[in-house]
């Protein structure tokens, strides 16, 4: 067994900084990963691709009537700009984007307390809303003990248009509603464009079946303000351990490792890889994606985007090794999706934390959430199943995505359903 809990945790410490897409932090992380590959004896390749980039210059939310007060807000990245002098309109709170609530939003600024997805965003635009105010934080937060998390809209949310959007702390939102805030002014100014993001790639040629390839993916970027230790520093160091293992133990099949940039912007790194390497996809038999492991309390999970035979094979291996895990067929919102979209089965490796133990996509995703032994235990099982698949005399899995998974992948990507 080549897995070292200490080595993994030490590598995680090196990544303990914000790694937001297209920023210096992401570039720094890509170079660190490449340096680790070189230290192991490999030859990394860094491929750049364009990803959306934004910088919020001004974000304000002011109540004008029946009282005057400015509230602290953060602008949503990629939500466009308000008019030069801001947008003045009535504030209306809705708890959902159902037909009844949507009748009340035309010409108004909408305050919403739930999660916002592409469907809801499109409904707001069609209903004639002028702007959106989302909420963050917890009622238990004390003034001065927090700062607002910055948020951004993914490309799938802005395909049908944009609404200027800001985020306010939930206690301030509560105050506005309790005091009867009527007319508000929302100001938002930001610069939007493109900048370079990066995938880091390393490959070890197979000794017997070099034209049969297994791909390992893990994203190394984080969201704004987050050090992304759980999501996904853990996956980043896990596949580095698997890479190290195969450098010591030459694989029968070719193994290719991709540390993906800009996953948090909508799987952009893995999408860019697939688009740039259409000629290589035919040789890929399987994608193994690692995204979030390591909480001390939780449940290891293996989500299989593939046929029943792959589910049974992985479940059998888990039972044979005495590795307790939930194994089931499904897609997973991570870098295995673009490969599944090309007909390549994916095993998604993760460890779901017990309720309240971890927090992703926020500044509290810190290294203290991660337990080194737990992270290494998951990595050790991944090493075991990797040896089985990579070293098989005949590759045991058919390269096919079943129709029910094709439907889910297409829905996730916003595509019309097509048979693979």
- Which pLDDT score is estimated for 147? 64
- For 239-294, the pLDDT digits (tens) are 999 999 999 999 999 999 999 999 999 999 999 999 999 999 999 999 999 999 99
- Which pLDDT score is estimated for 356? 65
Q: Quick one: what percent of the chain has pLDDT higher than 70?
A: 97
Question: Is residue 36 domain-resident?
Answer: yes
* Residue 82 confidence (pLDDT) above 60: yes
Nearest Cα to Cα of residue 74 among 146, 180, 156: 146
In angstroms, rounded to a whole number, what is the distance separating the alpha carbons of residues 231 and 244? 21
In angstroms, rounded to a whole number, what is the distance separating the alpha carbons of residues 202 and 257? 5
Alpha-carbon distances, residue 56 vs 61, 74, 214 (angstroms): 14, 8, 40
Nearest Cα to Cα of residue 303 among 171, 184, 408, 173: 408
Q: Residue 199: left if φ>0, alpha if ψ -120 to 50, beta else—which one? A: beta
- For 397-418, the pLDDT digits (tens) are 999 999 999 999 999 998 865 4
- For 168-189, the pLDDT digits (tens) are 999 999 999 999 999 999 999 9
Last residue of a domain, one of 136, 153, 181: 181
| Count of Cβ atoms closer than 10 Å to residue 78 Cβ | 21
Which domain, by its residues, includes 124?
67-181
289 and 216 within one domain: yes
78 and 35 within one domain: no
290 and 149 within one domain: no
Last residue of a domain, one of 136, 152, 181: 181
- The two tokens of residue 30 are 């890509």
Length of the chain: 420
- Which pLDDT score is estimated for 419? 42
365 and 231 within one domain: yes
In angstroms, rounded to a whole number, what is the distance separating the alpha carbons of residues 336 and 62? 43
Question: Is residue 38 domain-resident?
Answer: yes
CATH label of the domain that carries residue 251: 3.40.630.10
120 and 258 within one domain: no
Domain total in the chain: 2
Nearest Cα to Cα of residue 171 among 141, 207, 203, 208: 141
For the chain, the first-to-last Cα distance in angstroms comes to 38
What global pTM score does this model have? 0.90
Q: How many CA atoms lie within 13 Å of 326's alpha carbon, on the beta-carbon side?
A: 11
Least confident residue range of 93-102, 322-331, 349-358: 349-358
- Which pLDDT score is estimated for 420? 35
Mean pLDDT of 374-388: 98
Phi, psi (deg, nearest 5) at residue 65: -145, 150
243 and 367 within one domain: yes
- The two tokens of residue 178 are 């309790």
Mean pLDDT of 205-216: 98
Question: Is residue 327 domain-resident?
Answer: yes
- Which pLDDT score is estimated for 145? 59
Per residue, the 3-state secondary structure of the chain, as one string, reads CCCCHHHHHHHHHHCCCCCECCCHHHHHHHHHHHHHHHHHCCCCEEEEEEEEEEEEEEEEEEEEECCCEEECEEEEECCCCCCCCCEEEEEEEECCCCHHHHCCCCCCEEEECCCCCHHHHHHHHHCCCCEEEEEECCCCCCCCCCCCCCEECCHHHCCCCCCCEEEEEHHHHHHHHHCCCCEEEEEEEEEEEEEEEEEEEEEECCCCEEEEEEEEEEECCECCCCCCHHHHHHHHHHHHHHHHHHHHCCCCEEEEEEEECCHHHCCHHHHHHHHHCHHHHHHEEEEEEECCCCCCCEEEEEEEECCHHHHHHHHHHHHHHCCCCEEEECCCCCCCHHHHCCCCCEEEEEEEECCCCCCCCCCCCCHHHCCHHHHHHHHHHHHHHHHHHHCCCCCCCCCCCCHHHHHHHHHHHCCCCCCC
Question: Is residue 419 domain-resident?
Answer: no
Give the residue, 215 or 358, on which the prediction is more confident: 215
In angstroms, rounded to a whole number, what is the distance separating the alpha carbons of residues 72 and 55? 17
Last residue of a domain, one of 181, 204, 231: 181
- Which pLDDT score is estimated for 276? 98
Question: Is residue 420 domain-resident?
Answer: no
244 and 164 within one domain: no
- The two tokens of residue 47 are 């491929």
317 and 169 within one domain: no
- For 153-170, the pLDDT digits (tens) are 877 788 889 999 999 999
In angstroms, rounded to a whole number, what is the distance separating the alpha carbons of residues 192 and 78? 7
Query: Do the beta carbons of residue 321 and residue 278 sit within 8 Å?
Result: no
- The two tokens of residue 103 are 């009748």
Question: Is residue 189 domain-resident?
Answer: no
- For 51-73, the pLDDT digits (tens) are 999 999 999 999 999 999 999 99
Question: Is residue 57 domain-resident?
Answer: no
């Amino acid at each position: 067994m080549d897995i070292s809990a200490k080595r993994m945790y030490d590598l995680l410490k090196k990544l303990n900084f914000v790694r937001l897409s297209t920023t210096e932090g992401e570039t720094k992380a890509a170079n660190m990963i490449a340096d680790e590959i070189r230290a192991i004896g490999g030859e990394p390749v860094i491929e750049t691709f364009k990803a959306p980039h934004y910088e919020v210059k001004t974000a304000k939310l002011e109540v004008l009537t029946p009282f005057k007060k400015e509230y602290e807000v953060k602008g949503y990245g990629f939500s466009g700009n308000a008019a030069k002098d801001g947008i003045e309109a009535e504030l209306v709170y809705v708890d959902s984007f159902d037909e009844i609530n949507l009748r009340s939003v035309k010409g108004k600024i909408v305050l919403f307390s739930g999660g916002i997805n592409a469907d809801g965003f499109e409904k707001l635009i069609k209903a004639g809303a002028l702007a959106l105010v989302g909420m963050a934080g917890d009622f238990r937060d004390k003034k001065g003990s927090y700062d607002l998390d910055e948020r951004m809209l993914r490309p799938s949310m802005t395909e049908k248009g944009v609404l200027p959007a800001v985020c306010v702390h939930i206690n301030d939102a509560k105050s506005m509603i309790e005091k009867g805030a009527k007319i508000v002014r929302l100001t938002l100014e930001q610069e939007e464009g493109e900048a370079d993001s990066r995938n880091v790639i390393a490959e070890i040629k197979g000794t017997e079946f070099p034209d049969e390839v297994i791909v390992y993916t893990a994203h190394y970027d984080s969201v704004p303000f987050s050090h992304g230790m759980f999501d996904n520093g853990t996956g980043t160091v896990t596949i580095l351990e698997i890479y190290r293992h195969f450098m010591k133990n030459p694989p029968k099949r070719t193994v290719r490792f991709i540390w993906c940039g800009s996953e948090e912007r909508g799987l952009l790194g893995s999408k860019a890889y697939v688009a740039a390497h259409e000629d290589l996809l035919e040789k890929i038999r399987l994608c193994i994606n690692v995204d979030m492991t390591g909480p001390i309390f939780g449940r290891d999970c293996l989500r299989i985007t593939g046929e029943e035979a792959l589910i049974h094979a992985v479940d059998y291996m888990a039972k044979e090794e005495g590795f307790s895990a939930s194994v089931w067929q499904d897609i997973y919102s991570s870098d295995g999706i673009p490969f599944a979209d090309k007909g390549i089965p994916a095993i998604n490796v993760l460890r779901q934390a017990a309720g309240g133990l971890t927090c992703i996509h926020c500044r509290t995703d810190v290294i203290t959430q991660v337990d080194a032994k737990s992270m290494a235990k998951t990595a050790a099982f991944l090493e075991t199943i990797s040896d089985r698949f990579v070293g098989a005399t005949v590759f045991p899995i058919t390269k096919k995505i079943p129709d029910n998974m094709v439907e889910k992948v297409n829905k996730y990507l916003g595509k019309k359903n097509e048979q693979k």
